[in-house]
């Protein structure tokens, strides 16, 4: 319907008023502009027609799956860490709490040592003593290998609210300790002097660091993804510069299990303990293609 524009009545001779004349508005220019705008909106909404493409072929997974060499059922009710000492596997069973010496071929318990730690997690060996974390006191404890008595206790410095953080694991690197704690986006990895408790190095974990181990050259971290997707093993080259060390992180492979709680490296194979599976798995990381 054309637009109607009303005009004022004009007076003509004799006092009579000239009747109003109605003329259709000239909409040529406006109509053209609206047509152009409408066309542009349709292009933005639906896009331009494109030639058909071949369907994308499914690609390979981003990371390979690690290979299980052996799987051992373990007598630990709540395994929360492991370490290799000579020819034996030592597990931290938080249920006791106690340390269990395990035969790496059969999974049979060889010996056990009761420990006096309220909320233990993680296990490391410095060549003479065991170390573990205590989430109750937010400390790391040096333990006598025979009696389980606490020889030394070091307070862990935690950014933010200490109660919100969970000490996950601990590893020994020549003469220094590595400690990982989870705290959401503030999860950290720290390098600590075991004699003084001074933090030498600190960096963001950039994941949920469920377990860690080292050979002195690399620091391996199990990045936990809960039940959403498999956990992933990553490696960092150990450097004094935390920024460069974090930048060296490489993701190696997906790892088996549902809730890994400890990892160790024997020079050739990785050993994982899984709380839910109640098992220790010996795995090999595939070489990159």
Handedness of CA 76, 79, 84, 90 (dihedral sign): negative
Judge if the upstream peptide bond of residue 117 is cis by omega within 30 degrees of 0.
Answer: no
Q: Give me the pLDDT at residue 261, please.
A: 95
Phi, psi (degrees; rounded to nearest 5) at 3: -70, 140
The domain segmentation of the chain, as residue ranges, is 67-284
Mean pLDDT of successive 10-residue stretches along the chain, which has 289 residues: 44 48 47 53 44 35 87 94 96 96 95 96 97 97 96 93 93 94 95 95 96 96 87 96 96 92 95 94 79
Q: Which of the four CATH numbers 3.40.50.2000, 2.60.40.1930, 2.130.10.10, 1.10.260.40 does domain 67-284 have?
A: 2.130.10.10
Classified as helix, coil or strand, 10 is strand
Q: Which residues pair with 60 in a beta bridge?
A: none
Tokens of 265: 């490296």
Considering the entire predicted model, what is its pTM? Answer: 0.77
Which stretches does DSSP call E strand in 12-87?
Answer: 17-18, 23-24, 67-73, 79-85
Residue 262 CA to residue 72 CA, distance in Å, equals 14
């Amino acid at each position: 319907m054309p637009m109607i524009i009303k005009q004022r009545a004009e007076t003509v001779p004799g006092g009579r008023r000239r009747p109003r004349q109605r003329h259709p508005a000239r909409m040529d220019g406006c109509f053209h502009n609206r047509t152009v705008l409408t066309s542009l909106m349709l292009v933005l909404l639906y896009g331009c027609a494109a030639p058909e493409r071949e369907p994308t072929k499914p690609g390979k997974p981003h990371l390979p799956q690690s290979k299980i060499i052996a799987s051992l059922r373990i007598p630990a009710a709540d395994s929360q860490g492991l370490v290799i000492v000579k020819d034996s596997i030592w597990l931290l069973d938080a249920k006791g709490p106690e340390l269990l010496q395990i035969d790496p071929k059969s999974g049979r318990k060889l010996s056990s040592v009761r420990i006096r730690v309220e909320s233990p997690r993680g296990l490391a060996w410095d060549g003479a003593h065991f170390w573990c974390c205590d989430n109750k006191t937010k400390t790391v404890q040096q333990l006598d290998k025979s009696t389980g008595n606490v020889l030394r206790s070091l307070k862990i410095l935690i950014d933010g609210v200490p109660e919100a953080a969970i000490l996950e694991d601990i590893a020994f690197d020549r003469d220094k300790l590595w400690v990982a704690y989870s705290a959401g986006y503030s999860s950290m990895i720290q390098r600590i002097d075991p004699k003084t408790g001074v933090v030498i190095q600190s960096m963001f974990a950039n994941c949920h660091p469920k377990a860690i181990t080292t050979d002195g050259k690399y620091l391996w971290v199990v990045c936990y993804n809960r039940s959403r997707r498999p956990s992933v093993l990553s490696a960092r080259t150990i450097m004094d510069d935390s920024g460069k060390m974090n930048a060296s992180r490489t993701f190696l492979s997906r790892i088996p299990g549902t809730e890994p709680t400890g990892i160790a490296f024997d020079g050739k194979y990785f050993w994982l303990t899984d709380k839910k599976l109640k098992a220790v798995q010996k795995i090999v990381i595939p070489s990159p293609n």
